[in-house]
Amino acid sequence: MKNRMRIAVLAGGWSAERDVSLKSGRAVYNALDREKYLVTMFDPRDEMGSLFESRNEIDLAFNMLHGKIGEDGKMQGFLDVLGIPFVGSGVLASSLCMNKKIAKERYRSAGLPVAAHCIMRRGRDVSFGEIIEQIGLPLVIKPVSEGSSIGISLCRNEAQVLEGMETAFSWDEEIMLEEYVKGREITCCVMGNAELATLPLIEIVPDASYAFFDYEAKYKPGASKEICPADIPEHLREEASRIAKTAHRVLDCAVWSRSDIIIREEKCYLLETNTIPGMTETSLFPLAAKSAGLPMGVLLDKFVNFAVENGKEKGC
């Protein structure tokens, strides 16, 4: 029991995803092997002082803070200032992935297939006709810098577009209006640093009562069916894996990420990349790992090893 690595799990925080973060953090806290690790848990919203005071007693942070001030580079920067290595992507990658506008620009620069979109900033006057000319109907409206489908609307007419814009602007100063790509939704989990591996693909099938894979469909037990491994042709599995690995690299991600993809008419469209995927009992990353024969504890060991490896590569 000597020389155990001292790991601090960070969960909770300030974002709209606080409750999910607490569940993810608790799942990680419970699954970390106590024979290898001395584990503590902090909620930075309420225990920032304690985290600061404990900085010299932490070998590695396992950040499970979903959403703003946790997944967007701010907490990563704070940990860097404290000198605490952490599992996952650094400041730049975290910020890039959280901003859907910038992430999509990086996707396009790498030749990755994405849906048509436009960006609107609060206060800018744009006519409905201009929107339809650029995007068409139906379309999806989302805040630029939120996760877990928060503030997202699927719009099929002018009234719904106006309502969707109002909803998205209640969460962010910038919003994205995006072509609705109707098809099969899958997700691809990526692990590693220089050498990347993907886990079995998952197809997500929300209950018919949901228009799309929204916040409730994501986290309410039984609200969606997750099929793992996804029953899709081999060439599409290979293409989805290629896209997810490329997204991981072009966004400078580290240790782990999860990219969401829509398959329409034999073509994959990349939606977004998550740098801190959920780890709750209904989350997708643990499901993909389980399908690959990786229990939660073994999966977390891999993340810890990747994080240590990543620190050595940076000369930390």
Q: For residues 286 and 256, is the Cβ–Cβ distance under 8 A?
A: no
By C-alpha distance, which of 83, 85, 68, 28 is closest to 275? 68
Question: What distance in Å separates the CA atoms of residue 256 and residue 195, rounded to the nearest whole number?
Answer: 12
CA dihedral sign of residues 103, 247, 216, 63? negative
By C-alpha distance, which of 67, 88, 147, 160 is closest to 311? 88
Active site residue 260: yes
Tell which phi-psi region holds residue 262, choosing left (phi > 0), alpha (psi between -120 and 50) or beta: beta
Question: What distance in Å separates the CA atoms of residue 296 and residue 129, rounded to the nearest whole number?
Answer: 50
Active site residue 185: no
Residue of 95, 145, 148, 224 with catalytic role = 148
- Rounded to the nearest 10°, the torsion over CA 30, 44, 71, 301 is -30
Residue of 12, 13, 15, 17 with catalytic role = 17
Active site residue 121: no
Residue of 239, 272, 283, 310 with catalytic role = 272
Cα-based distances in Å from 138 to 62, 84, 164, 179, 283: 39, 46, 12, 7, 28
By C-alpha distance, which of 62, 68, 115 is closest to 95? 68
Peptide bond before residue 206 is cis, with ω within 30 degrees of 0: no
Residue of 258, 259, 283, 310 with catalytic role = 258
The three-class DSSP label of residue 118 is strand
Bridge partners (DSSP) of residue 63 are 10
Residue of 88, 90, 151, 278 with catalytic role = 278
Residue of 257, 260, 283, 310 with catalytic role = 260
Active site residue 148: yes
Other CB atoms within 10 A of residue 127 CB: 8
3-state secondary structure 190-258: EEECCCEEECCCEEEEECCCCCCCCHHHHHCCCCEEEECCCCCCHHHHHHHHHHHHHHHHHCCCCEEEE
Active site residue 278: yes
Residue of 219, 237, 283, 310 with catalytic role = 219
Active site residue 3: no
Active site residue 71: no
Question: What distance in Å separates the CA atoms of residue 24 and residue 65, rounded to the nearest whole number?
Answer: 9
Which residues are part of the catalytic machinery? 17, 148, 219, 258, 260, 272, 274, 278
